[in-house]
Structure 1
Amino acid sequence: MKYLLLSIFLCTLLACTPGSATKYPYTIRDFPDSLRTDLRKIVNYGFIGSPSYESAGNIRMQISDNDCKRLALSEHPILRSLALDILCNRHHLDHYSIMMQHLDDTAYVNWYYQCASFTFITVSDFMVKEYKWYTEEEKNRTVEKIIRDHNYLQSAYEALHKTTLTEAHYPFVRKMAEKETLMKFRSEALLHLAGYKKISDTGFLHNALYQSRHELDANAFGIMELYQDPFYFAMLKKYFPGGYYRNFCKKDFERNTTENALSYVSALASYRSEESAAILEKILFQDPLVPCFPADTFRLRQHLYEVIEKNTCEHYSKMLRVVKPWLERERKESAENGFPIDTTSFYQFPSDSTNPPKIRW
């Protein structure tokens, strides 16, 4: 009986790992001795980037093209990321084809990218972010392929604003909007889906934004501003004051930002109603403007005043008596203290046809 159970377990295990061994068959033992020590160090560090720069630099200088192509099929995602970065910077190779062939690597790696900042990212997303195209045409082909064939990547959500979406893109945008992922990515798809203005999407958009009401961002507020309806206005009213002030007062440093608040104010002011005026007055006449630190209060105040002026209506008359003099004074001071820039004196670098400009993601 125990042998039967063992056989069932082994068959189940093999069935649950389809093709992984054949797709990425290479281990560190398959590479020359001169590379193994640094390859092991990189895997042990567990990061792309610092603190593995020294070992990565050694690999970059020593590894042959053929070994590097094999390393791009390593069982270790971190080593695949390194290999693809090396291959895509060896200009004697057809690195564009290499990049396009590796857009389906969805293993996650930890990217240490700047100032002790970390993010988890797929191998393919890392490759796309670090890749440099020679022509806009090549980049556009990559954008199209990612949206159509690899829309599970983070890069697919970023790609939506890098092209002109047509009706042919609609099924892909809808699929991306339906996917449960981080709101900072999903909201891109929701915003572009709203742009199609299909009545059949209204209920879905309402539900998606309501379900994400505790993590609304600039794109979500953009939908509420551009495609107004009573459901969105009800959400805007509910967002204040708790959701609004949390943008400034969260302990998480990355969430201490005015961006969401600026977008919220823009959306709210665009409704030009008595109820929107009541909330805007509470924001405007709050003293101090933001009850916690840190916050860019000047930028917030300037934006708040400008959107009230932009949406001038009878309901905003009380606020306009404060807003207009302040804006006139600031604009006058800015005009008086500004310095003209003589662009004709800038040095013009000669063009180099042998080294064409590189286009980043």
Structure 2
Amino acid sequence: MSSDILLALVVAAALTFDFTNGFHDTANVVATSISTRALPPRLAILIAAVLNFIGAFLSLKVAATIASGIVDSGQVTLQVVFAGLIGAIFWNMLTWWFGLPSSSSHALIGGVVGAMLAAHGFGAINGEGLLGKVVIPALVAPVLAFGVAGVAILFIYRIVGRLRPGPATRGFRLGQIASGSLLALAHGTNDAQKTMGIITLALVAHGSLSPVDPQVPFWVVVSAASAIALGTYSGGWRIIRTMGSKIIKMDAAQGFAAQGSGAAVILAATHVGFPLSTTHVISGGVVGAGAAKRVSAVKWGVAGNMAIAWVLTIPAAGLTGGLAYGISALAGGGTQGPAAVCVVIAVAVGALLRSRRVRTPPPIAEEPAV
């Protein structure tokens, strides 16, 4: 009975992460369409949410990688999965608060790896899988999107350079509806599956699935698809502003090139089962589309802050996941550990909220003139 309650807590935490993934990564899908006025904000977000949901059903290769390709699924416990999710949720909320487009995917992987290290040491980590399926794609993907978007925008400008700006802009705005929809579909094929993989890991730890080639249950697919779609529809406006206007002042042609290159790279990664960061990919496309037109058009300070957040994501989420596991282990087995982690989080959030409510002391009244 205790393990069933703990499994329910882990599934709830996983779906919470999936929701934060949705609203955190909404900007990846819709910011370019909104900033160029190809679509009104609410309609763009609605289309993205629907296509995120549909995309989650198109492939399960990324879910299989998360479930068995990065850590030893035979050593995973429910406490480890819960702690990893806490690390990922913490990093998602922190970067959302500061409006930084960081990787939810790498936050999840970092959280789980950190918790596994705290629980079992390096022997429980599949170093080859982590390097080949996470680290190398993380380095290659944004550079590839940067190059594809840069070449695409130069090619586009050469073709439409002599056309009147008005008709050309309207045409590319229509094109953005198609490219943005494809990007949203691609986002669903990759990001929703990461939560499916985590829940599958939890089911293996619970004993509900075999650790040898576990298959993702259909209810897990539906739940993860629904959570990320709802999160997407809620919208992450802080990050949308960063992606849509703070990196470059984007025109419709650049938006079309960035979205198209991002969708192509993500779909290719999904096909081979790489849990790619959609944030890294679309950011690389946006910067590439801007830099190819004019290097000075890119606000490199903002891009640098994003790069720092990317580098810190896996170690920061891993540290938090490891810390969460440590608190859970000290509190004991069963549901006591996750409950203790939840209490610590509640106390920390309460202290933060109280600190923000501290009133500024009233000004000292001036003495009357003599």
Normalising TM by the smaller chain, what interval?
under 0.3
Higher share of residues assigned strand: 1
Higher share of residues assigned helix: 2
What TM-score comes out, normalization by structure 1 length?
0.21
Which structure would you say has the larger RCO, counting Cα contacts within 8 Å and 6 or more residues apart? 2
Q: Which structure would you say has the larger Rg?
A: 1
What TM-score comes out, normalization by structure 2 length?
0.21
